[in-house]
A and B are shown apart, each in its own frame.
Chain A
Amino acid sequence: MTDPIVATDLVKVYSGKVRAVDGVSFSVHEGEMFGFLGPNGAGKTTTVQMLTGNLRLTGGSASVADLDVVRRSHDVKQRIGLVFQESTADPDLTGRENLELAAALFGVPLRTTRSTIDSLLERMQIGDAADRLVKTYSGGMRRRLELAVGIIHSPRVLFLDEPTLGLDPQGRAGFWRYVLELRKDRGMTVFVTTHYLDEADTYCDRIAIIDHGKVVATGTPSELKDRLGGDVVTVRLSNGGGAAVETVLQGLPGVASVTKFEDAYRVKVPKGEELIPRLVEACDRSGIRLAGVSLKRPSLDEVFLEFTGREYREDEGMTATDRAVRIGQVQQAFGRARR
């Protein structure tokens, strides 16, 4: 059996102009929780839409649950679960009715439908609200219902597209608890997109970092952090610095590398706390005026910065879909103006 998700050189170009996904390749192993991490507009949702058979590929190929997503998109939908980033449950139906509908669409056997739904409602702790209309549910309850809909047919692969977007920290933690329990019990492979670095770090076995439609790094969270070579000490100078500063910093014991980033220097070193007193002393001796020194343990923020050359901002950018829609609107407006 091959890996449940294999993507090879995936390309998606919207409106002939916006290259939302640009040659993305990766594979996800059986039973793995794989995180697809990147800021808004990086190409995460577009990738999920292609892998789940809902969006045509411009180039490349992909197989999910041993099926080609282009040729067998209908069968792929049968074998996967998909939780969208927005609520897609029908607000005019009760939670139970939404699950009954999903059970029918995904072909859950009739004889087990009722018990499956009851068990899911209990597990997601929405049993008491099962017969209430979904429009009366809280955000957290809606998310848990979405998850229940996504797994009602016990899929081999579960796709979670920004599943905790808009939830408070308590709601996020609760949601992940359910996902982890389900994964443990059912052994399903989980592909999750998120722009929350802490979620990827805490819950994912492996991560791919995507930026501007390209995968810039793949590995376990610890592998990625190890690639940083230890702690990062950021040095800010009151007079901007110069070549002399780099020389002083490079000369300090244990320093692996020094890079200039905006108005600061990033110094990689195995043990940052031991470097700082020496660094302050060396700068003082060389007449370099420090504005600030900070120490960061290896984190995915640092990994992102390392591989993309820019700091990670969770709310940055417009999504690729937004960009495509905007382009369409502009084209339409121009078309109308010409007419």
Chain B
Amino acid sequence: MIRELAALTRRELLRLARNPQAIITSLLLPILYLILFGQAFNIGAFFAGQPGGQTALLLALRGAPTYFSYFSAGMTGFVAVTATLFIGANVIFDRLFGILKRTAASPATPTAIFGSRLIAGMVQPVGLAFLVIGLAVLLGHLGLSGLKVTAPFSLLGTAEVVLAVVIISAMFASLFLAIGFSIEQPQSYFAAVNAINLPVLLTSAALYPWGTMPAWFRDVASYNPVTLAVNVLRENLFQGASAYYPYGPGIYLLGLLAWALVMFVVATLLAGRALAPRD
């Protein structure tokens, strides 16, 4: 089982390394958001010069020093969505090209076949998430709005950030694998993915300042897995931000883990069904 899992994961990673266009495409959307939307949408300007403006800004951004800092943490969480959607598409193309049939006809267990895709599906978004953080910081050094990490370095904080990115990647990799294993046509897959992608972003706290959201929207956004992940990031990246959140990062990590487990179970069942002898 371990050898099968390792061999299949190696195959996924080799394919990923040989198809850099998937990595570039995954990065494109967050980068465009950082360079265009993040630079132009300077919400801080509305608060500048007003009495109590800085306090109001901190309240709106839940302790983030600038809107760009708030927003770039959101993009780091959202990259897990854009970078994992190819994993499900690979299942469909592998089915079309007969590769999945070959693997299913071997003694490899469905667990190893699914697990290898899940592991490979997590490697890319985790790497890209930290690339987005690096790029957001770099923009600040180039005279543009940039990510200002104001919290002091801590091992626990770093571990929580890494864990949040890993879990949200696992969750979305599971979701897209579940869709990939249950849909046969690429066009249907991409239609389903588009129906998920944008609503997930738009109902999360990745883009919008928390303080400007209507109460009902906050209720919706609170349960969005992207919000849960970016809450962990923001609490750890910005000094004093925890005061603006009702819970510590551990609670948000638990919520995220619950999402990931549900998706994992659903995806495992669907993969098992797809890889079983056909009727």
Residues of B bordering A, CB below 8 Å: 3-4, 6-8, 10-11, 14-15, 18-19, 97-99, 101-109, 277-279
Given known A52-B105, A54-B277, A88-B98, contact A104–B18 (CB-CB < 8 A)? no
For residue B6, which residues in chain A have a CB less than 8 angstroms away from its CB? 104
Q: Which of B4, B14, B104 contacts A104 (CB 8 A)?
A: B4
**What are 5 A-B residue pairs whose CB atoms fall within 8 Å in the complex?**
A55-B277, A56-B278, A88-B97, A89-B99, A105-B8
Since A100-B7, A105-B4, A106-B106 are in contact, a sample of 20 more A-B pairs with Cβ atoms closer than 8 Å, ordered by chain A residue number, is A53-B277, A73-B277, A75-B107, A77-B107, A78-B107, A84-B105, A87-B98, A88-B97, A88-B101, A88-B102, A89-B102, A91-B97, A92-B19, A93-B14, A101-B8, A101-B10, A104-B7, A106-B107, A107-B107, A149-B102
Contact B99 A90 (CB under 8 A): yes
Shortest B206–chain A CB gap in Å is 33
Nearest A residue (CB) for B94: A90
Given known A104-B3, A104-B4, contact A93–B105 (CB-CB < 8 A)? no
Report Cα–Cα, A102/B99, bound state, in Å.
12
Contact A101 B15 (CB under 8 A): no
> Does chain B have a CB within 8 A of A82?
yes
Contact A92 B277 (CB under 8 A): no
For residue A53, which residues in chain B have a CB less than 8 angstroms away from its CB? 277
Residues of A bordering B, CB below 8 Å: 49, 52-56, 73-75, 77-78, 82, 84, 86-93, 97, 100-102, 104-107, 110, 133, 149
**How many pairs, one residue from A and one from B, have CB atoms within 8 Å of each other in the complex?**
74
Shortest B138–chain A CB gap in Å is 32
For residue A107, which residues in chain B have a CB less than 8 angstroms away from its CB? 3, 107
Contact B99 A55 (CB under 8 A): no
Q: Which of A73, A84, A97 contacts B102 (CB 8 A)?
A: A84
Report Cα–Cα, A73/B108, bound state, in Å.
12
For residue B7, which residues in chain A have a CB less than 8 angstroms away from its CB? 100-101, 104-105
Nearest A residue (CB) for B10: A101
Report Cα–Cα, A90/B14, bound state, in Å.
11
For residue B18, which residues in chain A have a CB less than 8 angstroms away from its CB? 92, 133
For residue B99, which residues in chain A have a CB less than 8 angstroms away from its CB? 88-90
Report Cα–Cα, A133/B3, bound state, in Å.
23
Contact B11 A82 (CB under 8 A): no
Contact A90 B11 (CB under 8 A): yes
For residue A93, which residues in chain B have a CB less than 8 angstroms away from its CB? 11, 14-15
Report Cα–Cα, A4/B178, bound state, in Å.
38
Q: Which of A56, A100, A105 contacts B106 (CB 8 A)?
A: A105
Shortest B193–chain A CB gap in Å is 21
Nearest A residue (CB) for B104: A54
Nearest A residue (CB) for B112: A105
Report Cα–Cα, A283/B86, bound state, in Å.
74
For residue A105, which residues in chain B have a CB less than 8 angstroms away from its CB? 4, 7-8, 103, 106-108
Report Cα–Cα, A88/B7, bound state, in Å.
17
Report Cα–Cα, A281/B7, bound state, in Å.
74
Shortest A272–chain B CB gap in Å is 46
Report Cα–Cα, A100/B6, bound state, in Å.
11
Shortest A1–chain B CB gap in Å is 22
